[in-house]
Amino acid sequence: MSDTDKPTLNKAPQMYVHYCEEDECMEWGGFGFSPSKAVPSRWWCWEHFPHKTNEQEKALMEKLNATDKVLKQ
Ligand SMILES: [Zn+2]
């Protein structure tokens, strides 16, 4: 029995399985980036996502602060 005997249907689907590509980071890679359609997307967690803008970061912090306030009430 060898791997080459397996039908291609047994291949694990590549979609939806993408953790942060940072070494030793086990976070879910919820933030993808691809420079073009010809390039497969790369995925990172928010902390390691290298393409976030200041606006995005600010919005996220405001969201976190808002959640924090709600929890404290
Ligand atoms: Zn990460």
E strands along 1-71, which residues? 31-33, 42-44
pTM above the 0.85 mark?
no
Q: How many domains does the chain have?
A: 1
What per-residue confidence (pLDDT) applies to 56? 87
Residue 16 C-alpha to ligand 1 middle, in angstroms? 16
pLDDT digits (tens, 9 = 90+) for 16-61: 668 999 999 999 999 999 999 999 889 999 999 998 889 988 998 8
Domain-located, residue 33: yes
Domain-located, residue 4: no
4 pLDDT above the threshold of 70: no
Residue 2 C-alpha to ligand 1 middle, in angstroms? 35
Residue 46's domain comprises 11-72
What per-residue confidence (pLDDT) applies to 60? 85
Residue 59 C-alpha to ligand 1 middle, in angstroms? 19
Domain-located, residue 55: yes
Predicted confidence band at 70 (pLDDT cuts at 50, 70, 90)? confident
Domain-located, residue 5: no
CB 52 within 8 A of CB 30: no
Residue 40 C-alpha to ligand 1 middle, in angstroms? 18
